[in-house]
Structure 1
Amino acid sequence: MSWSTDYSEGHEGWAASVTPDGRRTGSSTGQGMLVEGITGRYERDTTLPDYEVVPHREIIGWQGQCECGWQGELWERVPSAEEADAGRRKVHLPLEKSAHAPEAVEDAIGDEWLEHVAPFGAVAGVEAAARDYAQAGRRLDKTVAAAKAAGATWADIGRAAGITRQAAHERWADK
């Protein structure tokens, strides 16, 4: 599963499985997790020649990833349920299970990713407001020019714009 926003390109996120050598992946086959790069330690994938298949049992944990390069903190896979402690980011997943992040971990990583992209959403709001502001400014300039052409005085225009006659003249006389 991956997450994306409608306000920020380059920020698709996912819960990546982490291999013992630190590589990360979100793809898998029945035999294991598909990891880019050839170390010679694992079997090569038959359809993707630049990928190895790391057995599910060897995945050491999960980490948030974003296509922008952001990485979350590691959620460590522990060997027993007794060692599991979500507060310390330690999660038990039996070795015979698929090594995709358990649902609770994926949800927590999704929340971390949302924190990562939150500033981009806020900035997107600023960008939209700035576009609206610039467009309104252009519309105001055209409307003032039309009012002046129709015979309005600088006092009339200033009053309508909420500024003084002099400020209106200084702002729009040369436009």
Structure 2
Amino acid sequence: MNRAIRAVALSTAALSLAALPTNGHAASTTGALMVTHVRPNTSGADVSGSRQLNLNGEYFVIKNVTTRTVNTGGYVPDISTNSYGRALPSYNLPAGAKAYVHTGSGTNHRDSSGWHHIYRGYARHVLPNDGRSRNPDLRLKKPGSPDNNTSTGSISPCNWGNAADGTTYAC
């Protein structure tokens, strides 16, 4: 009788675990870095006249998932819907640390709250806001991978659909 009770308890536990909700956009990685969040649509207008506004309000967040410092240089952010271009600049991200990767310009640094900031140096907004006609998919690729809108070399994906103004999405 004791075995029967144990078997029922184990099968009930297994079914309970299987029923837990999962996030369809869950972040995953097969490398040292993982994309954890993205803010593709900065708060407010992107452009006033011909001037780009708040470029650094558009960003994604990466996390070092290793137990060692990882240099971000050469990792390629690639978007399935356009050419995103430049590989990340060289920056030593400590083990377990997260970094905001901003679209605009600035000096790579760690702020007083312990957050790391890496800047891409673009003079325009590059993350797509509108996912109605396409499904934006930001992928972080291994160093040396091409920015060619394919998943080849991907280590961590994130997608968001239609981006609300100033909203940060978990991957």
| Normalised-by-shorter TM-score class | under 0.3
> If you compute each CA radius of gyration, which structure gives the higher value, 1 or 2?
1
Q: Which has the higher contact order (CA 8 A, sep 6+)?
A: 2
User: Which structure has greater strand proportion?
Assistant: 2
Name the TM-score, length of structure 2 as normaliser.
0.23
